[in-house]
Amino acid sequence: MNDIVIKGTPPAKSNSYQIIKLRDKTSGQLKCSIAKSGQVKNYEKAFYFQLPRDVRGRNIKSNFGLIADVSFERSSSDLDNAFKIILDSLQASRVIYNDNLCEYILARKRTAKNGKVSISIISPALFEKLFEMIDMAKRTDLSPEFEKETALELYNQIKRIYETTR
């Protein structure tokens, strides 16, 4: 799948969910539940409308990997907190069937004047190859020449796999 670029920064985790009180219909008792905050709902709506039309409703039902480049307006923002919102937004937009199908995440955090998220959804085969290469590198003497050769081989293999998953 081609890169999906969404303008705007995912809301902070502390602003993501809120506790609400609901009255049980049968017993009439108050119960607490967790609901998405207005900020999250607004982000999901903006996320949906920025998706290319051919991506909306794709409803991927197989395991997948996610590559994300997240640009925050502040360097103090946490990268890990963005993933719950990004995966929830992909699911709410029916790009993916369920976020529990995500097997791998590769992410990079950046700081920029205007926040944005760039996402690629790819086959887990790419990540399997990456981890194979990392395991191989761990078992081998990491001389500068080996590192250079391994990096080049890894790049070429990832590029081939990535191109076949697009």
Q: List pLDDT tens digits, range 15-72.
A: 677 788 888 888 888 888 777 888 888 999 999 999 999 999 999 999 999 999 999 9
Q: Do 35 and 18 meet the contact criterion of CB atoms below 8 Å apart?
A: yes
DSSP H helices in the chain: 38-50, 79-92, 124-139, 144-165
* Number of domains making up the chain: 2
DSSP state, residue 114: S
Same domain, 8 and 81: yes
Residue 63 sits in a domain whose CATH number is: 3.30.1330.70
- Give the mean model confidence (pLDDT) for residues 95-122: 93
Q: Which amino acid is at 104?
A: Y
Provide the pLDDT confidence category of residue 12 given band limits of 50, 70 and 90: confident
Residue with structure tokens 């999906």?
4
Q: List pLDDT tens digits, range 109-160.
A: 999 999 999 999 988 888 888 888 777 766 666 666 666 676 677 767 666 6
d(C-alpha 17, C-alpha 11), whole Å: 10
- State the residue range of the domain holding 68: 4-121
